[in-house]
A and B are shown apart, each in its own frame.
Chain A
Amino acid sequence: MEEVGKKTLLEIKEVTKWFGGVNALQGLNLQVYQDEIVGLIGPNGAGKTTLFNVISGSFRQNLGEISFGGQNIDKLKAFERCRLGIARTFQTVRPFLDFSVEENLIIGAWYGRGKERLSGRDLQETTEKILETLGLQAKRHDLAKNLTLVERKFVEVARALATKPRLLLLDEVLSGLNPAELEKAVQLIKNLSVSFGVTIIWIEHIMKALLAVCDRFVVLNYGIKLTEGKPSEVVADERVIEAYLGRTGKKFAERMGQLNLGRKE
């Protein structure tokens, strides 16, 4: 594959996670390389968020192994994984609502960095930089519960960045944005990987945004990796289209001439 020679940051080997009788992930294999932005797509219930929960340590997988930066992290708890450099946002949007934006960041910056404790001024500078990047300076003293949904999502991204992650897991951070905001946010995420040196796995349903940013797509369906590869190729893949639309839906879309996912605008 083309990734040969790149450094592996995250390696998922034969990971299976079941809830009762339902297999959310079935023997999943996945490698994520340093500095890439991976788009994780798949229909609802494909296991995308479950994969995030398993990587970040919110749940433990039933079978298989996960290693991060060459270290096996299966036994580490969520807070230890965060300190090691794995940060995430939540699909359901969960900033600390009674805290100000700044306090949300302080939690991440103070507790999420492991042994490296920031001094007062470094803490100030770090939060300043992150607030500026995400355009949240004006809202720094506002309580998170008084913010709009979009702002809350950005607070979550900011809080995750404050932990100085090497791997950032973004779970549908762009849904609910209007076209202008979307444009800006896409640029922003593109820049994050450079200015903060993070590798990103990004779950999103807005294909246009993903196509503009991602180096690679991974497609999940029923907890299995359906395919992976270059974004433009993946979205043109018959199996992917079928997974999203179903067989009849696909035929219908073809007839209506709506199937232009793979085409650049």
Chain B
Amino acid sequence: MKRSRMWKPQYLALIILLLAVLAFLPSFFSAYIVSFLIITLMFIIMSCSWNIFCGFTGYISLGHGMFFGAGAYAFTLALVKGGLPYYYSIALAAIVAGILAFLIGLFLLTIRIRAAYFAMITLGFNEIFQAICANSAALGESTGFTIPPVPHLHVPYYILLGVAVVAVGGTYMLDRSHAGLALKAISQDEEVADTMGINVARLKIIFFVLSGILPGIVGGIMAWFWSYLDPYQGFNLVFSFQVVIIAILGGMGTVFGPVIASVFMTLLIEILSTNLPHFYNIIFGVLVTIVIIISPRGMNALIGKIFHR
């Protein structure tokens, strides 16, 4: 089965090669390409983080952008208002997003809540935070903040590359661990998982927090990269949906699915939005629908099918 697949040396070689290419890429390519890669890495980290909780347990969060936004605001306030150094501000972004995830987890995941309500409430939180930021003078109201630009494009690129490696590597380890198995057990039958000795509430909260921390870091980095932050960019509902769509398109609960789908999506958005600015959402929707019909378990399963024929 899926768990017994062995690590072949060629896979390892391929991954090392890929990382080496990614590490040297920015030195040889234009700022345009590097910016594009930054956006791709952002989607990879967001969808992988979403996947380690939502993909494994089946609790679909429609408001994962709130952790992105919380991180972005924590970073910006620490930097602009608090005068903290960049790297402390990034650490703070991670901590704030983690605490937010913990509190929401405590509120939503200790009771038995239907997955549909979980999705709606997380979506609601995203909107609430946007409204708070847009109406609070201390949080910059709807005009937001300008942030000193990044010293060099390489800085956000390498940080995001590091975080992406952690996200993908972490998912790979989770997939082979007992914790991963327990999370998948929860997605199948939570009551039975409870009866089998799994501390369901604790496990869910732990992985919801992990799933919130990485988007917090990404939020901070992206605000810095954009050198600008307002509530509509920080707590962007469309962005939250995009993350969910990418993860589902790639394959929920798979390791490489969200990565493949992120690359596919960003490429598609880039190509379509320049050439067909008014139609790209339609084309995009049609493509996603087709992929899901052909392979309900996502692109990961689709690629597996093609290769193992």
Contact = CB atoms under 8 A, between A and B. Distances in A.
B270 interface: no
Q: Which of A79, A100, A141, A163 has its CB near the most chain B CB atoms (within 10 A)?
A: A79
B189 A103 contact: no
B6 to A, nearest CB: 15
A99 B188 contact: yes
A103 B3 contact: yes
Given A56-B195, A77-B194, A108-B197, A97 B182 contact: no
A9 to B, nearest CB: 19
Given A58-B195, A78-B195, A79-B194, A106 B188 contact: no
A79 B189 contact: no
Interface in A53-107: 56-58, 77-79, 82-83, 87-88, 90, 94, 96-100, 103, 106-107
B184 A114 contact: no
Interface residues of B, number: 20
B196 A90 contact: no
Contact of B196 (A77, A112, A141): A112
A107 B185 contact: yes
A83 B196 CA distance: 8
A96 B185 CA distance: 6
A112 B197 contact: yes
B188 A163 contact: no
A222 interface: no
Given A106-B178, A106-B181, A79 B188 contact: no
A113 interface: yes
A159 interface: yes
Interface string B187-199: 0110111111111
Contacts of A113: 197
Contacts of A58: 191, 194-195
B192 A82 contact: no
Interface in B156-204: 178, 181-182, 184-185, 188-189, 191-200
Contacts of A98: 184, 188
B197 A99 contact: no
Contacts of A82: 195-197
List the 9 shortest-distance A-B pairs measured between CB atoms, nearest first.
A112-B197, A82-B197, A111-B197, A78-B194, A111-B198, A96-B188, A110-B178, A94-B192, A83-B197
26 contacts: A56-B195, A57-B195, A78-B194, A78-B195, A79-B194, A79-B200, A82-B197, A83-B197, A87-B195, A87-B196, A94-B192, A96-B184, A96-B185, A98-B188, A99-B184, A99-B185, A100-B1, A103-B181, A106-B181, A107-B196, A110-B178, A110-B182, A111-B196, A113-B197, A159-B196, A163-B196
